[in-house]
Amino acid sequence: MTPTELKKLIRKGESNSLEFKSHFSNEAIETIAAFSNTRGGTLLVGVSDDGNIPGLNLNKESVQQWVNEIKNKTTPSILPDIETSRIDEKVIALIQVREYPIKPVAFKGRYYKRVRNSNHLMRPDEVAQTHYKTFNSSWDYTSTPRNVQVADMFKEAGVIERYGSGIGRIVDDFKAYGLAAPEFKEVGESFIVTVSKTRLPGFHPNTIQKGLVERLAESQKKILTLVQANPNISKKDLAAAVGISTTAIDKNISALKAKGLLKRVGPDKGGHWALLETGRGKR
């Protein structure tokens, strides 16, 4: 930001997103926490409340010391952007604070929010409500690849079969095991999954295999069909028949073994595949 832009900003005066501090202190960190819990904001250090500019006397370690102090006194730790500038030969620091995705942020164990041009201590119910809103994001069980290039590479290798199917398949597997569907929440750049280990009422263990077989990936169904037709088939031939790499075949076979649908009898050379009885005829 240029000196002209800074002067224009200072003339606007303090607001819900702009604060002046003549020097860096705990009050400055309190404001940073309040901005983080609201909609973000800008803190100008070296500027007094009335808009005068006493400036700062900084050494080469000052800014890094501020960063460390802010990080150590906020929970979750805040790492704001700090830059220095000069106005009429006076040094000031510009601290840009973004709204934090996981709220509320505490300063030394206390929570603040920004109201107009001041910081207000949050009531216990406000803290609870803010926390609830942060972690109550909905998820509709659809998925899209976050990195298309990585997803393309995995699909090419046969590690994934189709985009947008992962969440639904996870939910189906949980249901097949008699467990409640997991909750998926996206908070900022984080992705949170909550699972329960409690069985659903009326669940019977003998339904697990049937549910799993019905919801197998297409390549896994093909593997079971090929193995049933030829128990001596090699992994190389399986890969050619299914149309995926041998590495992907290994991953799918491991998954089938983990689900109790397939096992290897004997060594890799000279042995054969065997379908478990619970898996036969249900594909």
Residue 221 has a pLDDT of 85
- Please state, as a whole number, how many other Cβ atoms lie within 10 Å of the Cβ of residue 210: 13
CATH no. for 3-134? 3.30.950.30
Residue 242 has a pLDDT of 83
Residue 282 has a pLDDT of 41
Residue 87 has a pLDDT of 94
Tell me if the domain spanning 216-283 has CATH number 1.10.10.10. yes
Residue 162 has a pLDDT of 47
Task: Spell out the domain ranges in the chain.
Answer: 3-134, 137-203, 216-283
Phi, psi of 191 (to 5 degrees): -130, 120
User: From the first residue on, what is the mean pLDDT of each consecutive set of 10 residues in the chain (283 residues)?
Assistant: 91 95 97 96 96 94 94 91 93 94 90 95 87 57 50 47 54 68 68 74 54 65 85 88 85 87 87 71 41
Instruction: Tell me the DSSP string of 31-93.
Output: HHHHHHHTT-EEEEET--TTS--------TTHHHHHHHHHHHHEESPP--EEEEEEETTEEEE
Report yes or no: 130 and 104 within 8 Å, Cβ to Cβ: yes
Cα–Cα dist 24/4, whole Å: 23
Residue 41 has a pLDDT of 95
Cα–Cα dist 34/99, whole Å: 9
- Please state, as a whole number, how many other Cβ atoms lie within 10 Å of the Cβ of residue 113: 21
Cα–Cα dist 55/40, whole Å: 24
The torsion of the CA quartet 105, 108, 113, 117, rounded to 10 degrees, works out to -130
Report residue 65 CA to chain centroid gap. Answer: 29
Residue 163 has a pLDDT of 44
